[in-house]
Amino acid sequence: MRKLLALTVFAATLLAPSAATAQVNMLFTPNTILTPLNGGAFIGSGTLSGFSAPFTIFCTDQHHYISFGTTYDVVVTSLKSPTSMAGTRLGAAGSVFALDMYRANASLASQMLATSNVATRNSLQSQIWSNYGATSIQNLVGNSSFDATGWYVITGRHVNANNDDRAMQEQLGFSPVPEPSTYALLACGMVGLGAVARRRRARQV
């Protein structure tokens, strides 16, 4: 049984590279603005290649411009248990608390989802923007230990004349649907359990 479980986990890692522990290159298409906010910010929806369900997306980067309906090459970094933050704007800049900042912002964005009050959402948006300028963990607003299951940093790598001097545009994305590797692990586990059941029935005959 132990060998079977070990093979199940190993097979899942081979069949479906996970965005939960790695940075993955994907195609991102912002589709619709769900709620416009002050300063050109928004809560919107978008799709990522490799995920069946749409993402709720949040404007996290100031001086940030995207075109809805346009597809971008992006690096997607999970905030649950990443092995590296180098694909994110703060991580690439060498920030030692990049993960803390992004998780704090995810905690603020989750509060935006929990309320329909536009004034509260605008206040939370301002706090998200202010975190990009924080110089220490102590200066962060929000919960830097937030359980960020389902939360991702979506970092576009392209120069945009409207984006000041920044070559990366970033958004936070949330999707409650398990990623492909989760389905692969579940499928391998079910196959393994089926094999064990057949073996037990064969012994009883």
Residue 154's SS3 state is strand
Q: What are the angstrom distances between the C-alpha of 34 and each of 55, 56, 183?
A: 12, 9, 29
Residues 183 and 102 placed together within one structural domain of the fold: no
Give the range of the structural domain holding residue 60, as residue numbers without chain letter.
20-178
Residues 1 and 39 placed together within one structural domain of the fold: no
- 191: confidence class by pLDDT, cuts 50, 70, 90: low
CA 135, CA 47: separation in Å to the nearest integer?
Answer: 32
Span 19-32, pLDDT tens digits: 444 568 888 888 99
Residues 185 and 173 placed together within one structural domain of the fold: no
Residues 119 and 153 placed together within one structural domain of the fold: yes
Residues 135 and 183 placed together within one structural domain of the fold: no
Structure tokens at 4: 């079977």
* Rounded mean pLDDT, 150-169: 64
pLDDT reported for residue 8 = 41
Residues 190 and 112 placed together within one structural domain of the fold: no
Span 75-119, pLDDT tens digits: 899 999 898 998 888 888 888 999 999 999 999 999 999 999 999
Residues 60 and 133 placed together within one structural domain of the fold: yes
Residues 108 and 197 placed together within one structural domain of the fold: no
Residues 122 and 73 placed together within one structural domain of the fold: yes
170 and 89 Cβ atoms separated by less than 8 Å: yes
Residues 183 and 203 placed together within one structural domain of the fold: yes
User: How many distinct structural domains can be found in the chain?
Assistant: 2
Residues 172 and 198 placed together within one structural domain of the fold: no
| Verdict on whether the full-model pTM lies above 0.85 | no
Q: What are the angstrom distances between the C-alpha of 87 and each of 45, 78, 83, 108?
A: 22, 11, 11, 22
Residues 152 and 53 placed together within one structural domain of the fold: yes
What is the residue whose two structure tokens read 């576009």? 156
